[in-house]
Every structure is written in structure tokens, then in C-alpha cells.
Amino acid sequence: MKRYAAFFTLGLLAGMMTMHSFQGRELEKLYWEKENLKVELYEKKEQIKKIESQQETLLPPTVRKIELEITLEDGGFVEPELKLQVYDLIKGLLGEEVLALPYPLIFNILDNRIVEVGDKRYRLNVEAVILGETLVYYLKASKTTDEELT
């Protein structure tokens, strides 16, 4: 009986070692395949990043944001409604190609413009315009009366 148990144990160990050697090769093959796929994934991600950055440089820059810097001639507080009225006048420039915008139009669209806010009227004078993906207007607003308009 001990003899059969010894042969059984010996056979079991030999079978386990044989299976381990076959399965070990397969596991090692799968491990290296996984590592190669990780490297390939990294390479593809880098290629995608490079293509996306090239695509951004190929597209012409567009106006993505408009900022208004308004100062009152008398140094008072700028009403939010005034900023809103001025923004409504130029919001059509959003999304336009920066290089295709006519520069005189950008300046003259607000220069000497009269804007009504409630019962007050303001004359806008453009001091400076910075043109880029962020379009920045530096404006000086002065209160006007009906006599000045005629």
C-alpha cells in the first residue's frame, strides 16, 4: 500500500511539473504579449497627441473670448447693464477667424458709439484693441446729454 501511495505521489509530482513547464511557457508568452501591447498603446497615444497638436496648428485661430475693460470718464462705477449692451454689439465676432477680421471694423464698431442704459446715454471711445483668441477692448465711456448729440 505504501508503494502505491509513493508511486501515486511521484506520478502526481511529475504530472504537476510537466503541466507547470507547459503552462509556464504559455504564461510567459502572455506576459510578454501584454507588455508589448502596453508599449504599442503608449506609442499610439503619443501619435494621437502629436496629430491633435498638428491639427490645432493647422486650423486658423478664432476669437474664443471677448473681454471688455470699460472705465467711466468721471471715474465712477461701470454699470453691468452697460457692459451687457456693449457685449451685445460685438458678440458676433465670437468664432470668427482672427486673421480674417478687418482691423478698421474692429476698432470702428465701438468708437464714438452711443449706448443707452436705462435713461442714461454713454459715448464710447476705443482706447485700444488687442486682437487674438481673446479679443480685448479698452473703452472709455462718458455720459452724454441730448444737447451734445445734436
Residues in the chain: 150
Q: Which three cell numbers stand for residue 84?
A: 451687457
Report the C-alpha gap between 43 and 1 in whole angstroms: 62
pLDDT exceeds cutoff 90 at 18:
no
When pLDDT is averaged across residues 142-150 and rounded to a whole number, the result is 73
Out of 59, 79, 105, a domain closes at 59
Query: Are residues 85 and 46 part of one domain?
Result: no
CB contact at 8 A, 125 and 118 = no
Query: Are residues 81 and 32 part of one domain?
Result: no
Which runs of E-coded beta strand occur in 5-145? 65-72, 113-117, 120-130, 134-144
Query: Are residues 102 and 69 part of one domain?
Result: yes
Query: Are residues 50 and 27 part of one domain?
Result: yes
Query: Are residues 114 and 78 part of one domain?
Result: yes
Report the C-alpha gap between 47 and 51 in whole angstroms: 6
Number of H helices, E strands in the chain: 4, 4
pLDDT exceeds cutoff 60 at 95:
yes
Encode pLDDT of 66-94 as tens digits: 999 999 888 878 788 889 889 989 988 98
Mention every residue, 6+ apart, whose C-beta is less than 8 A from residue 35.
none
Average pLDDT, the chain: 86
pLDDT exceeds cutoff 70 at 147:
no
CB contact at 8 A, 110 and 89 = yes
Encode pLDDT of 20-63 as tens digits: 878 888 888 888 889 888 888 888 898 888 878 877 777 788 88
What is the pLDDT at residue 110?
A: 92
Residue type present at position 97: E
Q: Which domain, by its residues, includes 103? A: 65-149
Can you tell me which residue has the cell 508599449? 39
Query: Are residues 80 and 53 part of one domain?
Result: no
- 3 state SS of 120: strand
When pLDDT is averaged across residues 123-134 and rounded to a whole number, the result is 93
Q: How many domains does the chain have?
A: 2
pLDDT exceeds cutoff 60 at 150:
no
